[in-house]
Structure 1
Amino acid sequence: MFRPGLSSLLALSLTSFPALANDADQADTKLEQLVVVSFDGAHDNKLWEKSRAMAKRTGAHFTYFLSCTFLMTKENRKSYQAPHEKRGKSNVGFAPDNSDVITRLDHIWQARAEGHDLGSHACGHFDGAKWSADDWAQEFDFFRNTLRDAWKNAGVEEREPLEWRDFVEKDVVGFRAPYLSSSPALDKALRDFGFGYDASPVSKGPTVPGKSDGLVRFALPLIPEGPSARPVVAMDYNLYVRHSRGKEDVGNSATYEERTLAAYRAAFEKQYSGERIPLQLGFHFVEMNGGAYWRALDRFLTETCSKPDVACVSHREAMDIMTKRAKAVETTSEGL
C-alpha cells in the first residue's frame, strides 16, 4: 500500500525504452496498448482463487507481489528477523497453519503455469526507507530462502514440484517495496541481488517504463478520479483512503465501484486513443469497501482486455515485450 504523506512523489530519472517512443513513428500501425495489473500481499487463498478465475475469464495475466511471512506459520515466526525489528515480528502477520501455506503454494505454482508473474513484496511489510543496502540484502535473503524451502517447512517436501527451485532462483525477478517506500540503498540492493524490475515508483501520470543501471522501473501513475477529477495513485488502497478515509463504508460500495470504474476507463481511453503508454493499476489481497475496487477491476478487464490491440499482461511480460521492441528498433536503425 502507499502511505499518504509518507514521501513526495518519487522522481524517475530514467532512460526510457526507445521503442515505446519511436517505433510508432516507423510504422503505420499503433503500438499494442498494455494494461499491467498487480496485487500486493498475495495471501488470502480465497482471493487467489478469485483473481485466477478473473484472469481466466478476461484473458489477463497478473503480477502477484508476495509477502513471504505468509509462507511462515505463527508457530515458526521466530525464524524471521527483519532489519532493526524484534525477532518474529511482521506488520502483516503470518499464516495460521501449514495447511494454509500449502494451499497458497499450490496457487503460486498453478498461477505460474497459467502465465502469471510472482514478484517479491519483501517479507514483514516494513518501511525500509532508512534501511541500508545490507539490510535489504538480509530481507531479500529471507524472502528467497523462505520461498525456496516453503514445501519442506510446511512438512510436504515430497510435494515440491521438480522445477520449484529453478523457479525461485531464476523466475522471481520483480519487486515492489512495502508502502512504495524507496531509497538509493534499495536501488543498490536490487541490482546486487539480481532483480530485473522494480515496481515501487509513483509517477504524475502514465509513464513509459524506463531502464536504469540494469533495472526496469515501472511506476504506478496518478490518474484523475471523482467529480473534481483530482489525481490519485492508481491503487485500491489510495482510492479507499480517498473515498472513505480508510474506513469500511459498505453502504456506499456501489458508488465507489462506479467512481473507480469511471477513473479506470478514462485513464485507459486517454492512452488507447493517444500515445499508448502502458497503464498500470495496483491492488491488494483485501476487498476494501465491500469489494468495490475488485468489482470495478473485474468489469474493467472484462470490457478492456478483448479490445483490438490491447494486451493485459504481467510486469514480466511487459518488460519482455518492451525489450523486444527496443531491440527491433535498434536493428532497424542499424540498417538505415
Structure 2
Amino acid sequence: MPSLSRVIAFSLASLAAAGAALADPPAPAEPARPKQVVIISFDSARDISQWKRSRALAQRTGAHFTYFLSCVFLLSPETRGQYAAPGKTAGKSNIGFAASRQDVAERLEQIGLAAHEGHDIASHACGHFDGKDWSKADWLTEFASFEHILENAYAINGIAPEPEGWRDFAHAVAGFRAPYLSASKALYEALPAAGYQFDASGVSKGPALPPTISGITRFSLPLIPEGPKSRPVIAMDYNLYVRHSGGFDRPSKADEFADRTYQAFRAAFNTQYQGKRIPLELGFHFTLMNDGAYWNALERFAGEVCVKSDVECISFRDYVSRRDGSQKQATVGG
C-alpha cells in the first residue's frame, strides 16, 4: 500500500498539471502599429534655389515630396502665347511666366532630377486662376494645356536634348491640386475624365483618411491647432503667414513665427503618432514668406520625424500606389 506522503505528492502533482491545462492561453501579441505617414507637398514649384533646397532636405531625411507644378513656369516670355486659360486671351497668367529660356531649362532639369529621385510631380494647373465657376469642359481644357506644355516643354522652348522618357513621364502625371484650393463639382467631374488618380484640394477639420470617389482619391489639408490660443489653421505656410503677420513680411519676427509653426506641426504629428496614426498632410510654397520662417520650421520638423523608423514621409502618389498596388511615376533619363 503506498505511503500517505506519496499519495499526497501524487495528488499535488496532478492538481498542478490540471491547473496548467486549465490556465488561460497566453494573450496574442499586439498587432504591429502602422507607420505614421507624413505627406509634404509644394505648390507652384518655381524658384530653382527652392527646388535644390527641397531635394537636399529629402536626401538628408529619406523623404519623398509631391510638387504641384504650375505649367506657366515652363513657358518663357517668348513662348507664353502657348497657353490660353478658359475665358482668357493667350499669354495671360495670375502668377507670371518663367523669367527666360534658361530659367525654363534649369527648372526642367530640376523636375527631371526630382522625378528620378522618386518624387511625385503633379499638376497645379497652369495660370493659377480660380476655377470655381469653370465648367467641366473648362477644366478639361486647362488639364489639356498642362499636359501639352509639360510634355512638349523642351520642344516649345527650343531646349535640347530632351531626356529619354520625358514624354512618358509627362503623360503619366496622376495628381492635382486646385489653385486657391478652389474645388467644385465640375472639377471632380473633370478629374477622372482627364485620367487623374488623386486630388489634394480639400480642407478637413483635422487629419482624415482620404476617401476615393468616382476613382479619385481626395486628400485634404487639415486644420491644426496653432499659437498661444491653439486656434485652428490650415496646415499650409500661406495660411500661417496670414495668421502671423496679416500676409505682410515681418522678418524681425521670423524666429518666433518659425518656432510657432514648428510647435504646431509637431503637436499635430504627436497627436497622430501617439494615437490613430492617420496621415498628416502639410503644404508649402516655394516663396520664402516671413524671411523663410515656414521653410525653417519644415526643415526642423522633417529632420526630426522623417528619420524615425516608424515614420514615412512619402508623396501623395506613393500613398495611392501602395494602397492600390498601382505603378509609380515613370522615371526620366533612365
TM range (shorter): 0.7 to 0.9
Q: Secondary structure at the match of 2:308?
A: coil
- CA shift, 1:78, in A, is 2.0
After superposition, the C-alpha distances for 1:28-56 in whole angstroms (9 at most, x for unaligned) are: 11111100000000111111111111111
Query: Are 2:61 and 1:49 equivalent residues in the alignment?
Result: no
Deviating runs (4+, > 2 A) in structure 1? 321-325
After superposition, the C-alpha distances for 1:194-250 in whole angstroms (9 at most, x for unaligned) are: 100000000000000111110111110000000000000000000000000000000
Q: Secondary structure at the match of 1:200?
A: strand
Is contact 2:221–2:234 with CA below 8 Å preserved after alignment?
yes
Q: Name the count of aligned residue pairs.
A: 299
- CA shift, 1:169, in A, is 1.2
- Counting only pairs closer than 5 Å after superposition, residues 133-282 of structure 1 correspond to structure 2 as 133-156=136-159, 158-170=160-172, 172-282=173-283
Q: Secondary structure at the match of 1:137?
A: helix
Question: In the aligned structure 2, how far is the partner of 1:293 from the partner of 1:169?
Answer: 32
For 2:110, give the aligned amino acid. Answer: H
Q: Paired residue for 2:115?
A: 112
Is contact 2:224–2:232 with CA below 8 Å preserved after alignment?
yes
- CA shift, 1:321, in A, is 2.4
For 1:182, give the aligned amino acid. Answer: A
CA RMSD of aligned residues (A): 1.5
Question: In the aligned structure 2, how far is the partner of 1:55 from the partner of 1:127?
Answer: 31
Q: Secondary structure at the match of 2:201?
A: coil
TM-score by length of structure 1 reads 0.87
Q: Paired residue for 1:71?
A: 74
- Counting only pairs closer than 5 Å after superposition, residues 310-321 of structure 1 correspond to structure 2 as 310-321=311-322
TM-score by length of structure 2 reads 0.87
For 2:158, give the aligned amino acid. Answer: G
Q: Per chain length, whose mean CA-contact separation is higher, i.e. which structure has more relative contact order (CA < 8 Å, sep 6+)?
A: 1
Is contact 2:79–2:156 with CA below 8 Å preserved after alignment?
no
Bigger Rg over Cα? 2
- CA shift, 1:324, in A, is 4.9
Q: Paired residue for 1:302?
A: 303
Higher mean alpha-carbon deviation, 145-154 vs 254-263, is at 145-154
Q: Paired residue for 2:89?
A: 86
For 2:313, give the aligned amino acid. Answer: C
Instruction: Mark the runs of 5 or more structure 2 residues left unpaired by the alignment.
Output: 1-28, 327-334
Identity of aligned residues (%): 54
- Counting only pairs closer than 5 Å after superposition, residues 28-47 of structure 1 correspond to structure 2 as 28-47=31-50
Instruction: Mark the runs of 5 or more structure 1 residues left unpaired by the alignment.
Output: 1-25, 326-336
Q: Secondary structure at the match of 1:242?
A: helix
Query: Are 2:285 and 1:284 equivalent residues in the alignment?
Result: yes
